[in-house]
A and B are shown apart, each in its own frame.
Chain A
């Protein structure tokens, strides 16, 4: 909390996602594409395959314009954005891994130089020299992945680093190798997808057929390596993380499932492209490319969301709160730690505790969660944030601070009764009341589902349960809604109980 807070309207996750997904999509192609270019050039030169060399020249221009500009600059953009969104974590990473990044930078220098010389060298260099530069390019590009992979995986699975703080312990962490294999596969797959897009623009004919068959082979091979790598990656993640994800974290799990379906779709598209290789239309390649982008987006969302509630597992929470300072926060509260103040303590507390993941009515909106509730309920939810679905960071401030945050949120949500907001009553109001008051923790069909305990309970029993909710010791808030909403909620709970009975 040593830093100011950037109160932008888009949402941190969205901003980070937009930049990061675009970057990884291009940067992985920058590696795989380099390998594809040099391997195919070598084969083409051996076979004196002039059309193929012509294709590679075209591809290398597309390659240079995409990777040198967008690839490199979205990489710099990640530097910029992480410093704005989570300066504490960025500072921690830089202090621990500055030499990792410095090593990566040396590869980057070689990579950029080689890419330029390769692109400009088609008509200037001898075949041997051109190929040598191509291989240097690929080696440097892949080595930069070897380095950055250590830092990315460290953030999810720092392993024993948390105990010893050693550079290499954190670098070669439990998910380092599977992630490296998987990302190498992604590089090869994307090389195939990008090259397919360039190949698709050729006129129908025998050469196009040969080209499409060749590039889709790369795509399918890469996809196979990716699939194996992703499975290994999942298994390498400590069970404490995966178990929790399966129980209470719908976002990463949905993203993982989506990524599996999208990978299947990529495979199907590549097979389809092979089937129509001779006259494959551009839109098929375009769809394959977009599916590849969507796959990467889904996978990155899975990886990022799985880290919750941390940004560096076990070390720094997503909202920049340092785990090591837990005792200090508990003792002195948050406000005492906030260095840059707006003059409104409630706003400061909200910004530093909640705002990095939630906006009021945009990204991960709080309005939808708290419309029609009350300040006391919100304060209870804030205090017990770590018990909610989604694996949120714990609130380490004081009760008074939780109340201030609740006041800040309550002033910005719809304060009318839920029945009025939803224009519902009786049976229709029940599910909505349950969604707001209960489903933040108790998701039907998951481990946290309490429907079984409602079975056979009378309305009076359930009313008593609601009255004594706070004393059940599970961080539940007292029920504070109006009587009509309570009656609807109780009726809905009874309905849930009956469904279980059946």
Chain B
């Protein structure tokens, strides 16, 4: 039963017309990384990779999470197929967690493909990228964290995707650059702490625009801990909420 839910969700998310735009985006990252040297001749491949990765690939994960995670429940409610899922002998918490897992895997894999393509573009090949391993971990953890947060948002708000997008691009762009400890309120900050990108030369403006890349002082261990904590709390809240509240398409209500 669990496998059926998981494979159905994966099948839904991996439909070609859904995945293709993300692969195109990954391709754009690769092309950008490849031509970065033309635009900025004095940068090293590792800097090219780090800039494009934090500017675009990390954002792809946030954007993909906003889109795929809201599909876990909001889309089912919107297309009114939720009724088929909720009248089956599957505990609601299990249903939501399995579908969450499927979405996280898809988002994570899309992020990883983006990172690999970017690395390919920057290094003109698959080898020699010292940042890649940690980036992949950061992207996967980011997929879990954004997914858990957005899942909860999608359960409690109408127009969840809009709120998730505002968070992913408004909040996550502004907050990492805020003074004091405000940047602790951003998932991107922790992803960057896990990725441990080196500060790119002394280009303070560049660093700022990229979202505090390499400047935060959070240790990787602490970042892992906080993101895992966030995931656990958000998933527990989501499971509880989804188990206790009604999810019936509103226009159906008499």
A binds B: no
